Amino acid sequence: MPIVRDLSELSAVASGGAVAIGNFDGVHLGHLRIVRRLLQRAREVAGPAIVFTFDPHPVRILRPTECPPPLTWTRRKAELLAQHGVDKIMAYPTDEKLLKLSAREFFDQIVLEALQAKAMVEGPNFYFGRNREGTIDVLRDFTDEAGILLDVVKPYELHKQLVSSSLIRRLVAEGDVSQAAKMLSAPYRIRGMVTHGAGRGAKLGFPTANLEAIDTLLPGLGVYAGRAWINAQPHAAAIHLGPSPTFGDGSTKVEVHVIDFNEPIYGQPLEIEFLTRLRDVVGFKAETELVAQLEQDVAHVRELGPV
């Protein structure tokens, strides 16, 4: 789905529909609850279903030291939302001008003038405008005044826990990617550029793609079963995230062994999904012990079934 970044462009192709405004980081089950109501309202008002998000997150500009790493990059976020029926994604380039808008100005300029919204769908903790002065109650007053339908959707609970981007971020950071996946709309995924490493994996019979320039949250250190997406096709993969203590290398690296794949992918972007954590990163006294463990890791990945 093409991402719209200019309000005038959005007004020309996708105004007069139902709108949800927010960061939608991770696109989790709570977000999908909002999307389902958004699609329903879009049908009722005979207009497009639009998600208006921000790129980058406003906190990255306002309080950069407090901004956590994102769970999804903008293009991935748009892909996930499109898969669930959203018609247009507006990724507004966050700048000082936007952040200085009062709640009233934001509503008038964005919601009324640019989006010409007929319906809005938000969560109960939605804030907008300068210093987050626009609460959901303020929004209700504005929408009532403008004759816009407003739905406030309850948060999603899973096993008595409120699903949120912050909770998922904690699970991912702890390495519990399988539990995080239960709260996300898809397994947790990162992207990076494939670079040349030390070549140790190839010498051991397990060539790896080394990922750098990763711009989202890294899972906790460990060895994972996952998928590598190459040319839009999934491939089973064993992922090592951490140092290489067997070789005295203490630097953290992301190394991906794509199973039954031998084509060169150096210098190319690569996306990988984390399905489950297999074990801790450990050191071995001999390379033969390491090879035996790698064979076991790959066998475990295969046991998880086809991609």
pLDDT tens track for 77-102: 999 999 999 999 999 999 889 999 99
pLDDT in tens, 142-176: 999 999 999 999 999 999 999 999 999 999 999 99
- CATH code of the domain made up of 3-158: 3.40.50.620
Percent of the chain with pLDDT over 90: 79
Residue intervals of the chain classified under CATH 3.40.50.620 are 3-158
Nearest in space to 139 (alpha carbons), one of 110, 103, 113: 103
Q: Where in the chain is the domain with CATH 2.40.30.30?
A: 187-303
Q: ∠ at Cα 67 (51, 167), nearest 5°?
A: 70
Predicted TM-score of the model (pTM): 0.93
**Antiparallel, parallel or unpaired: β 49-55 and 88-93:** parallel
CB atoms within 10 A of CB 42: 22
Q: Per mean pLDDT, which range of 21-30, 195-204, 206-215, 285-294 is the poorest?
A: 195-204
Contact 256, 159 (CB under 8 A): no
Residue written as tokens 């995080």? 180
User: What would the pLDDT profile of 96-138 be if each residue is shown by its tens digit?
Assistant: 899 999 999 999 999 999 999 999 999 999 999 999 999 999 9
Write the CATH number of the domain with boundaries 187-303. 2.40.30.30
The token pair at 121 is 């769908």
